Amino acid sequence: MKLLLLVFVGAILALYGASQYLARQVAAQYPPKGRFTDVGDVRLHYTDYAAGENADLLPLVFIHGASGNLREQEGIILDRLKGRGRLIFIDRPGHGYSSRGSADDIHQPAGQARVVSGLLTAIGVEKAILVGHSLGGAVAAAFAVNHPDQLAGVVFLTPATHPWPGGGVTWYYDLTRLPVIGWLFSELLAVPGGHLRYHDGVAEVFAPQKTPQAYEQNSGTKLVLRPQVFRYNAMDVTSLYEGVSMLSPRYGEIDAPVSIITGDSDDIVLAEVHSKGLERDIRGAKLVWLPGEGHAPAWTNPQAVISEIERVSAAAKARSR
């Protein structure tokens, strides 16, 4: 009996040590690269690139999805748009290197949109185009509904914005939310297990296409494989259904140029529910289908994304004249 107890305790300690070691390794590989600004009690980490002399785009704010961070979109978009407008890439609260904050709704799209609004005020951006990917699309939609005076337009990338049939999410998100068991899972198993499954998980995001060669290195998405960030991510994902159920009846209030870009082979979110729902709910929204593409259009078809950013920016400028 003592031997079994020693083996059990040893396994627990080994898993805990492995998780801590892997988390430190990822943090060392992808350290903070931007600025920090306090928005309420959230210390928000972001990068902010100035517009060039011949800038032709309105300020752009990029909001990543679940399991992401600011590097994910920056890694493919920055070099293609740098200088054409002010470019701001955000670590959502609790992700990357942003602190979580204590607001009751910080796990909801509306709570995170409020932080984005506060950041724009703090750094002197009057109006911006939001580019929201996946769960970040729900944050962008919440911003559009609740902070219209700061909104120039929205580009949704394979967004998750509407209640979906059943409201279910992947099992490990639900498990992580359980009292005690969820904490143990995130501290002991999620990090080493996530590293073992990382390549397959990324492949599922890009299916049916292949993962771009530079994605795993440049996106920094292993930053989610740190226990506390993993728990925050699970809270965001498991709270999304409730959040979009409250938000979606108000999408008809959005009065700004909108583009929705979605792959017709996306198995992560249901385009027929979310992307078509946005097209239905927002007057004048343009839906762009990408044949044979999955859940990461910025990486698989950056020119399509840039073309819609250009279109939305031009339309927003025309409105302001």
| Residue 175 parent element (H or E) | helix 171-176
Statement: residue 48 has pLDDT above 90: yes
Give buried/exposed letters for 89-128 (b at 16+ CB in 10 A, else e).
Answer: bbbbbbbbbbbbbebeebbbbbbbbbbbbbbbeeeebebb
Q: How far apart are CA 132 and CA 211, in angstroms?
A: 20
Is the CB of residue 286 less than 8 Å from the CB of residue 276? no
C-alpha distance from residue 290 to each of 85, 265, 270 (Å):
26, 8, 14
User: Which residue range(s) make up the domain with 119?
Assistant: 2-320
pLDDT tens readout for residues 75-103: 999 999 999 999 999 999 999 999 999 99
Q: How far apart are CA 95 and CA 201, in angstroms?
A: 18
pLDDT tens readout for residues 188-240: 999 999 999 999 999 999 999 999 999 999 999 999 999 999 999 999 999 99
How crowded is residue 51: how many other Cβ atoms within 10 Å of its Cβ? Answer: 17
C-alpha distance from residue 171 to each of 121, 234, 310, 319 (Å):
38, 10, 39, 45
pLDDT tens readout for residues 294-321: 999 999 999 999 999 999 999 999 998 7
Report residue 10's pLDDT band, with 50, 70 and 90 as the boundaries: confident
Report residue 42's pLDDT band, with 50, 70 and 90 as the boundaries: very high
Report how many domains make up the chain: 1
Structure tokens at 289: 């289908």
**Phi/psi at 86 (5° precision):** -75, 125
> What pLDDT sits at residue 3?
72
Statement: residue 1 has pLDDT above 80: no
**Residue whose pair of structure tokens reads 């279910």 in the numeric block:** 168
Answer with the residue of higher pLDDT: 2 or 224: 224
Q: Is the four-CA dihedral 290, 134, 279, 82 of positive or negative sign?
A: negative
> What pLDDT sits at residue 107?
98
Q: How far apart are CA 99 and CA 91, in angstroms?
A: 9
CATH code where residue 119 lies: 3.40.50.1820
> What pLDDT sits at residue 26?
98
User: Which residues, in sequence order, are bridge partners of residue 289?
Assistant: 262
C-alpha distance from residue 92 to each of 43, 89, 97, 138, 140 (Å):
10, 9, 9, 12, 12
Is the CB of residue 313 less than 8 Å from the CB of residue 129? yes
User: Which residues, in sequence order, are bridge partners of residue 87?
Assistant: 49, 60
Q: What is the mean pLDDT of residues 267-294?
A: 98
Percent of all residues in the chain with a pLDDT value above 70, rounded to a whole number:
98
Report residue 4's pLDDT band, with 50, 70 and 90 as the boundaries: confident
> What pLDDT sits at residue 240?
98
Report residue 173's pLDDT band, with 50, 70 and 90 as the boundaries: very high
pLDDT tens readout for residues 55-77: 999 999 999 999 999 999 999 99
How crowded is residue 254: how many other Cβ atoms within 10 Å of its Cβ? Answer: 22
Statement: residue 8 has pLDDT above 80: no
Is the CB of residue 86 less than 8 Å from the CB of residue 59? yes
**Residue whose pair of structure tokens reads 């078509």 in the numeric block:** 276
- Measured at the CA of 149, the angle between CA 144 and CA 154, to 5 degrees, comes to 35
* Chain centroid, CA 175 distance in Å: 21
Q: What does pLDDT average to over the chain? A: 97
Q: How far apart are CA 280 and CA 218, in angstroms?
A: 35
> What pLDDT sits at residue 278?
98
> What pLDDT sits at residue 7?
66
User: Which residues, in sequence order, are bridge partners of residue 43?
Assistant: 38
**Residue whose pair of structure tokens reads 């771009």 in the numeric block:** 212
- For residue 113, what are the contacts with CB-CB under 8 A and spacing of at least 6? 139, 140, 142, 143, 146, 147
> What pLDDT sits at residue 320?
84
